[in-house]
Amino acid sequence: MPYFDYSGRDSSGALVSGRLDAGTEDEAASRLFNQRVTPIEIRESRDKGVKKGDRSSRSQAQDGSSGSTMDNLRNFLTQKKVENDELIIFSRQMFSLTKAGLPLDKAIKGLEASMANPTFRAVLRDMVQSLENGMTLASALDRHPKIFPTLLVSMVHVGENTGRLDLAFHEISKYLELEKNTAKQVKSATRYPLFVILAMGVALAVLTVFVIPVFADTFDRLGAELPWQTVALISTSSFVVDYWMFIVAAVGGGVFAFLSWLKTTPGRLSWDKRKLSIPLAGAVFERVALGRFARTFAIVMQAGMPIVQGLTVVAGAVGNAYIASNVMRMREGVERGESLHRTAVNCNMFSPLVLQMISVGEETGTVDDLLIEVADFYDAEVEYDLKRLSDAIEPILISFMAVLVLILALGVFLPIWDLNTAANG
């Protein structure tokens, strides 16, 4: 991950500078806003290390560099991923505890004692230490960006500044629950097609490697004249059997190259843009991202976050680099003094109905409420698109299976039929 040198002013107006690790300049700016630093200049550092003493350096807290090599290895081997369900439970519990007025350090200590996930328990322990050292809760959360998303940290930061931390955690829990439901719907719609495709791939591999060579030996001993379909099948099977190592290496290299390309900023941007044009599934990807944009933007506006900072947070939460780039264009338009409706029109992302709702919201001062309506609209569209996707994929898979069976039947059974006819004749 690249490093960025920055200069800015803190909440007291003092000039500060340092270096932090972030994926992009926008992500670096978002993290600075979370630390109550207004950036003046951000530029990518040529030195790929974090300066000692930087206020934004978080490497020691994240990877335990102060420990021994064996400790780090043991922590890596026993590390367990923090699931979305655990973040939902954490947010709900924090809502109840902060609403009851319990001090943050005692509340998090209680959660740490009852946490089953060792990774999450270690994170909570570090948060308690950070709070005891005088850090804010948002800063303590921001020390663990792989666990807590930017939106969660920003919401907590706003909640601390407004004195409504309980409401911030309440909104966070609702948002995470909606994200969980959306992901569950997408997985449910794609589970059956993926299973069928996997089963067909396994069956085709077994036929190619084990079944067709047996028929090929039989036809060769009989000296039969084979139709072109059978010759094509036997040639394909022989190629796979003889060069399977090279095929596996080529496929593995292609997957590795593709994943490496996705890790680059241009690659991720290009792929996320192409995903939106995939037949049938592209509309689902687009509406999921736009629904996430509308709901996230409504939440940050309800929390009282400035629009410019809110759009930066939203860009990091939509889950699509191409749509995120359009959100950043909206932020630039707002910075130039344009209305939110005008910037939304220029991005060409929203339907006329959504644009009309944004326009009415600006005129009446209820943009956040209408954005919730927009999010509900997109969620309903996603649910409809997923049902339509399932209905459309089934006949496509059946047609593909029919073609596969036809090819195998023509290639394998035609010569047998010819031999049988010749024997009877």
When pLDDT is averaged across residues 329-352 and rounded to a whole number, the result is 87
Give CA separation, 412 vs 58, 157, 210, in Å. 63, 68, 13
All domains of the chain, ordered by start, with CATH?
Answer: 3-57 (no CATH), 59-148 (1.20.81), 164-425 (1.20.81.30)
Full DSSP string of 53-78:
T-TT--HHHHH-TTS-HHHHHHHHHH
The span from the CA of 358 to the CA of 179, in Å, is: 23
Please report the pLDDT score of residue 63 as a whole number.
41
**pLDDT confidence bin for 367, thresholds 50/70/90:** confident
Please report the pLDDT score of residue 251 as a whole number.
93
When pLDDT is averaged across residues 102-116 and rounded to a whole number, the result is 87
The span from the CA of 365 to the CA of 379, in Å, is: 24
Torsions phi, psi for 403 (to 5 deg): -65, -40
Please report the pLDDT score of residue 257 as a whole number.
95
In this predicted model, what pLDDT tens digit does every residue of 15-71 receive, in sequence order? 778 877 777 777 777 777 767 677 777 888 766 544 433 444 333 334 444 444 554
Please report the pLDDT score of residue 66 as a whole number.
41
Please report the pLDDT score of residue 260 as a whole number.
93
* 225 has a pLDDT exceeding 60: yes
Higher pLDDT, 372 or 53: 372
Cα 398 to chain centroid distance, Å, stands at 31
Higher pLDDT, 10 or 104: 104
The CA radius of gyration of the chain, in Å to the nearest whole number, is 28
In this predicted model, what pLDDT tens digit does every residue of 64-91 receive, in sequence order? 444 445 544 454 455 568 888 889 999 9
* Angle at 330 (CA atoms; ends 324, 332), nearest 5 degrees: 110
* 165 has a pLDDT exceeding 50: yes
Mean pLDDT for all residues in the chain: 80
Tell me the helix, strand and coil percentages in the chain, rounded to 5: 75, 5, 20
* 423 has a pLDDT exceeding 60: no
Asked whether 13 and 25 are in contact (CB, 8 A), the reply is no
Query: Whole-model pTM?
Result: 0.66
